[in-house]
């Protein structure tokens, strides 16, 4: 199975291949801006390194959010274009799943917390087996802490994990923030998509993945703003 995965939904941009059951060429760069300019050269680099054409792929995978509105749209537009041009299925993976998939929970609950660029955070709780226990949500750090059941050992990951750890001060056993990736990486997205594809191959009638924003955009088109003001 050969899958191309892309991510530019947060403060990083990456592209990666999953080749014959293992990780393939990979490009990753932490960045706050410039995802649109960086993504295509990364895709070209991993495809050239593997010596592949898009017709050699079995599927395209992309992060769907939550994250930055612009980055999510860039990634989805690029992935949909690749999939449409090569007549390939498109697999969506959330940013929270991608961060969780980059860590070994060691049999503990894992809470992923991502920076929303506001006072709240994007959060989701995963069980010891890696399965999601809650839906993706936005919450203030102290409210995010209440998602976690009392008693079990708790690990945290993500670029907003420290804020939730602070809100969990006094909890026993003390939660532990994991070292390692705090942002999504296309290499993890490719691995998760390959597992999902193997378990349930997308069908020709399946709808394409859509963006997971979790909140309305801060910027509103002028025409929409004027229409709202006239009501």
Do the beta carbons of residue 178 and residue 31 sit within 8 Å?
no
Domains and CATH numbers, the chain: 2-95+183-215 (3.30.420.40), 105-177 (3.30.420.40)
Q: Quick one: what percent of the chain has pLDDT higher than 70? A: 93
Closest among 114, 94, 111 to 103, alpha carbons compared: 111
For residue 225, is pLDDT > 50?
Answer: no
CA distance 61 to 68: 18
Instruction: Indicate the average pLDDT of the chain.
Output: 90
Q: Is the dihedral of CA 195, 24, 110, 104 positive or negative?
A: positive
Q: Tens digits of per-residue pLDDT, 190-200?
A: 999 999 999 99
Query: For residue 230, what pLDDT is reported?
Result: 52
Tell me which of 79 and 105 has the higher pLDDT: 79
Query: For residue 223, what pLDDT is reported?
Result: 46
For residue 222, is pLDDT > 60?
Answer: no
pTM of the full structure: 0.91
Closest among 103, 94, 97, 96 to 176, alpha carbons compared: 103
Q: Quick one: what percent of the chain has pLDDT higher than 90? A: 74
For residues 184-213, average pLDDT: 92
Query: For residue 216, what pLDDT is reported?
Result: 64
Q: Tens digits of per-residue pLDDT, 87-120?
A: 999 999 999 999 999 998 788 899 999 999 999 9
Number of neighbours of residue 201 by Cβ within 10 angstroms: 13
Query: For residue 168, what pLDDT is reported?
Result: 87
CA distance 121 to 170: 21
Q: Tens digits of per-residue pLDDT, 118-158?
A: 999 999 999 999 999 999 999 999 888 788 877 778 899 99
Closest among 149, 71, 75 to 116, alpha carbons compared: 71
How far CA 175 is from CA of 4, 35, 71, 110, 130, in Å, comes to: 35, 33, 31, 10, 17
Query: For residue 157, what pLDDT is reported?
Result: 96
Query: For residue 217, what pLDDT is reported?
Result: 56
Query: For residue 205, what pLDDT is reported?
Result: 75
């Amino acid at each position: 199975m050969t899958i191309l995965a892309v991510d530019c939904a947060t403060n990083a941009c990456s592209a990666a291949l999953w080749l014959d059951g293992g990780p393939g060429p990979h490009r990753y760069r932490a960045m706050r801006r410039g995802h649109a300019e960086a993504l295509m050269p990364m895709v070209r680099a991993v495809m050239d390194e593997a010596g592949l054409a898009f017709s050699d792929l079995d599927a395209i995978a992309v992060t769907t959010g939550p994250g930055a509105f612009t980055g999510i749209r860039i990634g989805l537009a690029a992935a949909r274009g690749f999939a449409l041009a090569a007549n390939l299925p498109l697999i969506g993976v959330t940013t929270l799943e991608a961060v969780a998939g980059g860590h070994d929970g060691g049999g503990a609950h894992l809470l992923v917390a991502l920076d929303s660029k506001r006072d709240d955070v994007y959060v989701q709780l995963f069980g010891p087996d890696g399965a999601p226990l809650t839906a993706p949500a936005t919450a203030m750090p102290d409210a995010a802490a209440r998602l976690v059941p009392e008693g079990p050992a708790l690990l945290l990951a993500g670029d907003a994990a420290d804020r939730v750890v602070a809100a969990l001060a006094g909890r026993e056993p003390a939660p532990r923030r994991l070292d390692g990736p705090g942002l999504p990486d296309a290499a993890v997205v490719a691995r998760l998509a390959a597992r999902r594809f193997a378990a349930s191959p997308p069908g020709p009638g399946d709808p394409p993945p859509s963006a997971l924003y979790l909140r309305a955009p801060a910027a509103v088109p002028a025409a929409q703003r004027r229409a709202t003001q006239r009501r």
